[in-house]
């Protein structure tokens, strides 16, 4: 409604000015004609040209001002490779915002490792599984030579082993990693799981049907989108019908999260044969790498950079929370001082709207959001009305009356109740605004009321109220 009205007013003003200019130009031409006709024509033409130019400029800039504004959104990545590049660039910007130097340097080092892996375009195959399922034997078989110690004792591989392996029909370098058992003792579980998430292609090895712990780990890896081949090893120990039955059970357990052809049976170190029987696995690896090789690398880089991004976001959120708490602490005691000096019988949140307005502006700066005074005032007044409608003013008075009387004489407590209550409600308001800014200037599904109620309930616990009262007494220098 406003835009058509502005356009209509602008057109009327333009027409009025145009008529006035035409009238003035006619008068000027008549006056100059009495001196010399050609001089009058020349000056009139020049003035008309200037008027046309001025009108053109006015129309152009008016169109720029009145045209509908569309938000510029960055183009979506067309490929997984483009998405990985965009994520790495975004990660660099995020890391620059982390103020904790030690934490930032640690994340930067990990980000450089991820970037280097992306630039090198090396495919990494990681072998994982429980102890004694034949992971190292499989690595040996893929290497075509004895690359690691094998034994029937559970947990032979106590540290990850890295090899370079050449698989027929695949160009480029492939790095093969044999990890300790995911379920081995000695605190290796976490390291192995971390290693598994870094793989471009994961070989998850079992020697029978999945038991509960194996199934849970595999499910977690598949949930994060890790490309996986489920390898049923030691098939030479079973009859053919038993092999078919185990393969069927495995496919049922992992379907539809894993294709049936990604479940293969092998014998990496058969007892009755001189050579490993791993050709079905090699064929599947070759098929996957041919079809998805570069995408596997890009997907893995995207996953790792996203994990780093989440860590950076957490650190940035933590430091913003600390900065926001300082802002809230400052303004709550400013509000307390103002209200304590005002001889009003009850706390009136509208009286602190100016203080809360400035608090909103400062909190916006903490979260990198520019908030105008007008917008901040609107937010502060809306929140004050919400608090009033929820009855939080009376609730705060009741809570703090008990807390103050427990620490001070009744007369002194009554005198200071208004200021302390104002500080308490300002704190709830500040915490609510923090949620608003953290949620990209959105109150969420429950709206402002739900956010305010949440922080009121969080801050009404006896221990928190007592701590707040003690802080109030200290801050306001009450003896």
Average pLDDT over residues 335-350: 54
Instruction: Give 171: exposed, middle or buried? Use CB within 10 Å, 0-12, 13-18, 19+.
Output: exposed
Q: Assign 418 to helix, strand or coil.
A: helix
Minimum mean pLDDT among 75-79, 165-169, 241-245, 339-343: which range? 339-343
Strands 228-232 and 201-206: parallel
**What's the pLDDT score for residue 120?**
77
Coil vs helix vs strand at 133: coil
Greatest mean pLDDT among 31-35, 157-161, 188-192 lies in: 31-35
Q: What is the pLDDT of residue 63?
A: 57
324 pLDDT exceeds 90?
yes
What are the phi and psi torsion angles at 178 (to 5°)?
A: -105, 120
Looking at residue 14, its pLDDT comes to 63
CB 179 within 8 A of CB 139: no
Mean pLDDT of the residues in the chain: 76
Over range 293-322, report the average pLDDT: 88
Q: How confident is the model at residue 262, as a pLDDT?
A: 95
Cα separation values, 386 from 17, 344, 389, 392, 459, Å: 49, 21, 5, 9, 17
Confidence of residue 241 (pLDDT cuts 50, 70, 90): very high
Six-digit token string for 82? 């483009």
Residue 281 is predicted with a pLDDT of 92
Please give the DSSP secondary-structure letter assigned to residue 76. P
- Residue 359, pLDDT > 60, answer yes
* pLDDT the model gives residue 136: 85
Pick 358 or 81 by higher pLDDT.
358
Residue 343 has pLDDT above 60, yes or no: no
Q: Does residue 384 have a pLDDT over 90?
A: no
Residue 394 has pLDDT above 60, yes or no: yes
What pLDDT score does 176 carry?
85
Mean pLDDT of 295-320: 88
Mean local confidence (pLDDT), 125-140:
86
Residue 309 has pLDDT above 80, yes or no: yes
Question: Is the pLDDT confidence value at 443 over 50?
Answer: yes
Strand order in the sheet with 161-165: 161-165, 174-178, 123-129, 201-206, 228-232, 263-265
* pLDDT at res. 145: 52
Per-range mean pLDDT, top range of 41-45, 112-116, 162-166, 236-240: 236-240
Give the Å distances, CA to CA, from 226 to 115, 127, 229, 284, 344: 19, 13, 10, 16, 64
Q: Which residues pair with 203 in a beta bridge?
A: 127, 229
DSSP 228: E
pLDDT of 345: 45
- Contact (Cβ atoms closer than 8 angstroms) between residue 265 and residue 247: yes
Is 60 exceeded by the pLDDT of residue 56? yes
Fold of the 121-277 domain: Rossmann fold (3.40.50)
Mind giving me the DSSP string for 108-119? HHHHHHHHHHHH
Question: What is the band of 293 on the pLDDT scale with cuts at 50, 70, 90?
Answer: confident
Q: How would residue 409 be classed by pLDDT, with cut points 50, 70 and 90?
A: very low
Is residue 229 predicted with pLDDT exceeding 90? yes
The whole-number average pLDDT for the span 48-72 is: 59
Q: Give the pLDDT mean for 119-142.
A: 85
Show Cβ contacts of residue 143 under 8 Å, excluding neighbours closer than 6 positions.
163, 165, 176
* % of the chain beyond a pLDDT of 70: 67
Lowest-confidence region among 205-209, 288-292, 408-412: 408-412
Averaged pLDDT, 123-151: 77
Between 65 and 467, whose confidence is greater? Answer: 467
Does the pLDDT at position 334 exceed 90?
Answer: no
User: How far is residue 475 from each of residues 100, 239, 329, 479, measured CA to CA in Å?
Assistant: 29, 80, 10, 11
Residue 67 vs residues 9, 264, 348, 412, 447: alpha-carbon distances, Å: 16, 62, 43, 61, 32
pLDDT band with cut points at 50, 70 and 90 for residue 151: very low
pLDDT band for position 236 (cuts 50, 70, 90): very high
Quick one: what percent of the chain has pLDDT higher than 90?
Answer: 17
Give the residue, 314 or 49, on which the prediction is more confident.
314
pLDDT of residue 261: 94
Q: Output the pLDDT for position 346.
A: 44
Is residue 247's pLDDT more than 50? yes
pLDDT beyond 50 at 1: no
């Amino acid at each position: 409604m406003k835009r058509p009205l502005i356009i209509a007013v602008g057109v009327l003003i333009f027409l009025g000015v145009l008529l006035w200019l035409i009238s003035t130009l006619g008068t000027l031409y008549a006056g100059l004609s009495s001196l010399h006709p050609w001089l009058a024509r020349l000056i009139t033409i020049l003035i008309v040209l200037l008027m046309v130019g001025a009108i053109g400029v006015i129309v152009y800039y008016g169109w720029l001002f009145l045209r509908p504004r569309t938000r510029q959104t960055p183009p979506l990545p067309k490929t997984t490779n483009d998405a990985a590049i965009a994520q790495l660039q975004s990660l660099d910007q995020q890391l620059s915002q982390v103020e904790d130097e030690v934490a930032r340097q640690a994340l930067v080092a990990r980000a450089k490792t991820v970037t280097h892996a992306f630039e090198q375009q090396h495919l990494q195959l990681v072998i994982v599984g429980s102890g004694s399922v034949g992971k190292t034997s499989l690595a040996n078989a893929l290497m075509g030579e004895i690359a690691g110690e094998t034994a029937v004792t559970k947990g032979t591989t106590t540290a990850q082993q890295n090899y370079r392996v050449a698989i027929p029909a695949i160009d480029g370098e492939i790095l093969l990693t044999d990890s300790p058992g995911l379920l081995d003792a000695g605190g290796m579980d976490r390291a192995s799981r971390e290693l598994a998430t870094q793989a471009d292609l994961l070989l998850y090895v079992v020697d029978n049907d999945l038991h509960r712990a194996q199934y849970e780990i595999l499910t977690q890896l598949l949930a994060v989108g890790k490309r996986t081949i489920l390898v049923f090893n030691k098939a030479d120990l079973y009859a053919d019908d038993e092999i078919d039955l185990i393969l069927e059970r495995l496919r049922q357990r992992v379907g539809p999260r894993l294709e049936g052809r990604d479940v293969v049976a092998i014998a990496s170190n058969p007892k009755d044969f001189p050579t490993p029987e791993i050709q079905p696995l090699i064929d599947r690896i070759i098929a996957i790498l041919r079809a998805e090789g570069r995408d596997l690398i890009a997907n893995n880089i995207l996953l790792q950079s996203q994990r780093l991004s989440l860590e950076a976001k957490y650190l940035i959120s933590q430091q913003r929370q600390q900065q926001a708490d300082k802002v809230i602490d400052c303004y709550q005691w400013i509000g307390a001082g103002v209200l304590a000096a005002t001889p009003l019988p009850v706390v009136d949140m509208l009286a602190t709207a100016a203080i809360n307005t400035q608090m909103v502006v400062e909190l916006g700066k903490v979260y990198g959001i520019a908030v105008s005074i007008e917008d901040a005032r609107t937010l502060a007044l809306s929140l004050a009305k919400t608090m009033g409608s929820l009855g939080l003013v009376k609730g705060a008075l009741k809570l703090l009356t008990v807390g103050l009387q427990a620490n001070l004489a009744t007369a002194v407590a009554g005198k200071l109740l208004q200021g302390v209550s104002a500080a308490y409600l300002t704190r709830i308001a500040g915490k609510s605004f923090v949620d608003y800014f953290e949620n990209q200037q959105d109150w969420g599904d429950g709206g402002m009321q739900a956010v305010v109620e949440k922080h009121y309930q969080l801050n009404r616990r006896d221990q928190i109220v007592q701590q707040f009262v003690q802080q109030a007494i200290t801050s306001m220098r009450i003896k």
